[in-house]
Amino acid sequence: MQQSISRRRNRQIYLVLMFCCLLGFWLFENFYTPDPYGAEHGESSTEIPIFLLPSSTTGTVVGHQHYTLSYNEPYEQAEWVAYVLKKDHLTTQTRKRPYFMEDPKIKTKSADWRNYKGSGYDRGHLCPAGDRRFSEQAYNETFYTSNIVPQDKDFNAGVWNRLEMQVRQWARTYGDIYVITGGVLQKGLDTIGEEDVAVPHYFYKIVARGDAKSMKMIAFLLEGKENNAPLRSYAVSVDQIEEMTEIDFFQDLPDDVEAKWEKAVQLEGWRF
């Protein structure tokens, strides 16, 4: 009799502990949010120069310590992310991968990372974590979900990654590089998650160097699926990306400089 009572008691304790574990896991998964990734004391900013910032179709422009973005709430992602990549930013230093978390600077809140769970899509970085290994703060900032877009896994690890590596090589070769990148946000896109995060069909990246009088720029437009074609085959004019996105890139450049560099596909001066 006593053994039977003891077994029942042990079973009850086991069930209670199991319930507590499951409840704790559920609470962690659904409600835990780490502290915002604040700037380290004395760390300088590496934001892109103001004269190179594009227009915003939403007016929601957010400046972080190491990149700037324009958030588009209906699509639950940034319509562009802009940042500077310097030669001395490039390092192979290992960083501990942080949590994805909502952007504390966006009043409407950026999409929760859980929207991506079970979606079949990668959480693709716009400002790559690999470009921000030079400090813990810079690296962690890239894990705000405002810097994340749904991307096909093979595309993210394939041609998109190849383009990111090419941009790093240009920074090693030419010095300071200015990058503006995002998904093409249009009506009718598929969505994922409870917050209906849009899945772009196309992604763009615009790369520039030099000053306002001697600017060189090159633009790329890629369909969001893996392709082994040479990177130069994805080069397009900035005007084409502006037409698709309704964003005015390099709006503060002198009109003659802007017209000169945006209307044509620019390959000259960029070593592949």
β-pair partners for 72: 77
Side-chain-side CA neighbours of 22 within 13 Å: the count stands at 6
| Tally of residues, the chain | 272
Cα 22 from chain centroid (whole Å):
32
**Residue 125 among the catalytic residues:** yes
Residue 113 to residue 91: CA distance in whole angstroms: 27
Sheet holding 77-85, edge to edge: 61-63, 68-72, 77-85, 177-183, 202-209, 216-223, 235-236
Q: b/e map of 192-221 (b: 16 or more CB within 10 Å)?
A: bbeeebbbbeebbbbbbbeeeeebebbbbb
β-pair partners for 148: 125
Active-site pick, 64, 89, 125, 201: 125
Of 162, 158, 181, 160, whose CA–CA distance to 170 is shortest? Answer: 162
9: helix, strand or coil:
helix
Catalytic residue positions, numbered: 125
